[in-house]
Amino acid sequence: MALIKKVWGFTPQWGRDCWIADNATIVGDVVMGEKCTVWFNAVVRGDVNEIRIGNQTNIQDGAVIHCTYQKAGTYIGSNVSIAHKAIVHGCTIEDNVLIGMGAIIMDNALVKSGAVIAAGAVVLAGTVVEENSIYAGIPAKKVKDTGEFMTAEIKRIAGNYPMYAGWYNE
């Protein structure tokens, strides 16, 4: 059973048809929409500030979602895929975004709709990632625009995760 903990009077909340892995951890001031999935060993830690997550967002294995005390909450839109071992910290991720494996998004960064953050990229604090663009590297820089194929791929990936979660309910 997942570790769900109340902190400072805040109990995590989530909408209909969400799936949370047995060893995921969700604590404090966390509110998720519908059809979200939180995978194995993922941590969503709303103990020092608030975390808000839209609909059909997936937080994959080993990812960490956190924030900064009295400075930066974390806001994640709908149809967002946060890949394995990514760190999303005190920032805003708009709708229809793909965060690659092992990527790091730091405080007060803004990742606009339709963007892709490449695997292993580090988005520095305060960076604004352009809409419909791909950012890669350390520090992350724009490498190109996403195009129609990638926009469809972002939505396809986000849409698959509720299906994958259904495999565990059999």
**Are 63 and 85 within 8 A, CB to CB?**
yes
End-to-end CA gap in the chain: 16
114 conformational bin, left if phi > 0, alpha if psi -120 to 50, beta if neither: left
Residue 19: count other Cβ atoms within 10 Å of its Cβ. 21
Q: What is the pLDDT of residue 147?
A: 87
Confidence of residue 169 (pLDDT cuts 50, 70, 90): confident
Assigned superfamily of 3-169: Hexapeptide repeat proteins (2.160.10.10)
Taking only the tens place, the pLDDT of each residue in 21-49 is 999 999 999 999 999 999 999 999 999 99
Percent of the chain with pLDDT over 70: 99
DSSP letter for each residue of 142-168:
EEEE-HHHHHHHHHHHHHHHHHHHHGG
